[in-house]
């Protein structure tokens, strides 16, 4: 993989502008350092000698854009990634949520679905799943299809089971899936509670009024202005006294929305709307 040089700035801008106007995916406000690495990787993979060449191909061939999209977005997720986050949701957020007769949750940037299913498992164990609707959204169509299917490689489940336990799981993770030879198929009652759909934090507006928004490891891919935009969308979607959970290294501290929330569990980046 070759690094992009500063001289490529204009070509990079032209590529992202072209993609936005042709395909309506807006990557113009993404954090630069990691975006440049991913674009450099795409150049290698697609055997493009230059950014201008990549732009010409991507604009001419939708298939090629599909390939590029795989590099531009990072489809990495785990069940119960950062177990302490889910433990805090269970211990500090669920007690409030119990007081509502019906619940809506929004998982923004759900990738292949693991975060949404992890929350569904917590809600099931806490007896809340029957009255809960989870919206899970992303911009990556392929990932949304994987998420909807709820089928994952079985060899990841030893690690997931350990995380589930650390997250304070009441039983065994195997209560929630059926194993076949090489895959684990998540339970229908989890799937029935989740609605997967397309939504971009970069271009779309607020979604619905929900009691909890979980948006983990998505904001790290945005620059500051785009983070502020996205956080505005999230803020407008959380009802008063509702909750917002971010990734382990994400914070409202450097954003323009810090005032709108109080810190509920600072170590796990769980906030409560004022």
Partner 1 sequence: MIVIGGSSGALDALAAMLPALPPDYPLPLAVVLHVPPTQPSHLVAVLGARSRLTAREPDDKEPIMPGTLYVAPPNYHLLVERGRTFALSIDPPVLFSRPAIDVLFESAADVYGPHLAGVLLSGANEDGARGLEHVRRAGGLTFVESPATAAVPVMPAAALRRIAVDHVAPAADLGRLLAQLAATPRPEDKA
Ligand X SMILES: C[S@@+](CC[C@H](N)C(=O)[O-])C[C@H]1O[C@@H](n2cnc3c(N)ncnc32)[C@H](O)[C@@H]1O
Q: How far is the CB of 216 from ligand X (least distance, A)?
A: 4
The answer to whether 234 touches 271, Cβ cutoff 8 Å, is: no
Helix (H, G, I), strand (E, B) or coil at 265: strand
Q: By CB under 8 A, name the one of 145, 189, 224, 241 that touches partner 1.
A: 224
Q: Does 200 bind ligand X (CB under 6 A)?
A: yes
Q: How far is the CB of 256 from partner 1 (least distance, A)?
A: 12
Rounded to whole angstroms, the Cα distance separating 36 from 54 reads 14
The answer to whether 140 touches 73, Cβ cutoff 8 Å, is: yes
Interface residues for ligand X in 140-169 (CB under 6 A)? Answer: 140, 143
The answer to whether 269 touches 86, Cβ cutoff 8 Å, is: no
Across 111-257, where does the E strand assignment appear? 132-138, 151-153, 177-179, 183-186, 194-198, 210-215, 238-246
- From residue 262, how far is each of 82, 130, 272 by CA, in Å? 21, 29, 5
Q: Which listed option, partner 1, ligand X, none, makes contact with residue 240 (CB within 5 to 8 Å by class)?
A: none
Q: Does 221 bind ligand X (CB under 6 A)?
A: yes
Q: Does 38 bind partner 1 (CB under 8 A)?
A: yes
Across 59-146, where does the E strand assignment appear? 103-108, 132-138
- In this complex, which beta carbon is closest to partner 1, that of residue 74 or of residue 151? 74
Q: Which listed option, partner 1, ligand X, none, makes contact with residue 83 (CB within 5 to 8 Å by class)?
A: partner 1
Q: By CB under 8 A, name the one of 251, 256, 257, 263 that touches partner 1.
A: 251
Footprint on this chain of partner 1 (rule: CB under 8 A): 3, 6, 31-34, 36-38, 74, 76, 82-84, 217, 219-221, 223-224, 227, 247-251, 253-254
Footprint on this chain of ligand X (rule: CB under 6 A): 73-77, 81, 109-111, 114-115, 138-140, 143, 200-202, 216-218, 221, 247
């Amino acid at each position: 993989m070759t690094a992009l040089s500063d001289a490529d700035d204009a070509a990079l801008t032209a590529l992202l502008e072209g993609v936005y106007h042709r395909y309506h995916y807006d990557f113009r406000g993404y954090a630069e350092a990691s975006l440049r690495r991913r674009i450099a990787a795409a150049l290698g993979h697609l055997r493009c000698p230059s950014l201008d060449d990549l732009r010409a191909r991507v604009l001419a061939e939708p298939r090629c854009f599909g390939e590029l999209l795989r590099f531009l977005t990072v489809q990495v997720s785990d069940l119960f990634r950062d177990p302490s986050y889910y433990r805090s949701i269970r211990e500090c957020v669920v007690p409030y949520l119990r007081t509502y007769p019906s619940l809506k949750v929004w998982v923004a940037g759900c990738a292949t679905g693991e975060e949404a299913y992890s929350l569904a498992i917590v809600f099931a164990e806490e007896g809340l799943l029957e009255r809960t609707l989870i919206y899970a959204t992303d911009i990556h169509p392929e990932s949304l299809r994987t998420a909807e299917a709820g089928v994952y490689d079985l060899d990841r489940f030893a690690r997931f089971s350990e995380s589930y336990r650390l997250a304070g799981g009441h039983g065994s993770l195997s209560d929630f899936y059926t194993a076949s030879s090489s895959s684990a198929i998540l339970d229908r009652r989890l799937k029935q509670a989740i609605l997967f759909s397309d939504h971009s934090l970069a271009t779309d507006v607020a979604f619905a009024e929900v009691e909890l928004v979980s948006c983990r490891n998505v904001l790290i891919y945005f620059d500051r202005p785009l983070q502020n935009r996205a956080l505005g969308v999230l803020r407008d979607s959380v009802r008063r006294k509702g909750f917002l959970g971010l990734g382990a290294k994400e914070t409202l501290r450097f954003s323009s929305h810090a005032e709108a929330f109080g810190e509920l569990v600072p170590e796990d980046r769980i906030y409560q709307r004022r």
